[in-house]
Amino acid sequence: MTIKRTIVSILISLFIAMLIGVSGYISRVIRNLFKPINMIIQSVPMMILVVLALIWFDKDNAPYIVGVLVVFPILYENILGALSSIDKTLLEMSNIYKLDLKDKIINIYLPSIKFRLATIIVSTMSLGLKVVIAGEVYGQPDYGIGSMIQLEKVNFNTPGIFAWLIIVIIISGILEILQKLILRRTFIWKR
């Protein structure tokens, strides 16, 4: 369940970050509105987010909420940064040749953000996993690594905690290997 919670949190974060990032790229008002919100979310310590999520949401949804709140600002800033760094002459040329919006999205915008987004997802996956586990430790939802770590803590079973730590490290390693394989397949044309 922990891996599912992590992946779902990252996908939700990615969806929201894409919507708000594209909106922020198009509209300065939205960009300026989300600048302080993003700063506040990034400034709040993760454990406070966990505690607030547990107060406001049930124990099963709190890890998702915390995962989204921690991963979203990173994805949002990278999407906005990637869109803002698109070569302006390329955009001018697309206007001169009267490319429609669909062609601009497929041929200019998506290739520009694809590489940056794929590389940042690799790093946010391990961060998301850690945050979701932290949310599970405090919230103790059913069937989670964090819940098992908390159970080991309550029983003063230090070897059990280290066993779960090793499992988390192995899961992180496997996820990183899978992500790198996906990245390699996605960007095979760059070789």
**Fold of the domain spanning 2-190:** MetI-like fold (1.10.3720)
Give the pLDDT of the chain (191 residues) as one tens digit per residue: 888 999 999 999 999 999 999 999 989 999 999 899 989 988 988 888 888 988 998 888 888 999 999 999 999 999 998 888 888 888 888 888 888 888 888 888 888 788 788 778 877 888 888 888 988 888 777 788 888 898 888 888 899 999 999 999 998 888 888 888 877 776 665 55
Enumerate the domain spans of the chain: 2-190
Burial class (CB in 10 A: 0-12, 13-18, 19+), 21: buried
**Residues, the chain:** 191
Q: What is the pTM of this model?
A: 0.82
Residue 148 to residue 160: CA distance in whole angstroms: 9
**Residue 74, pLDDT score:** 92
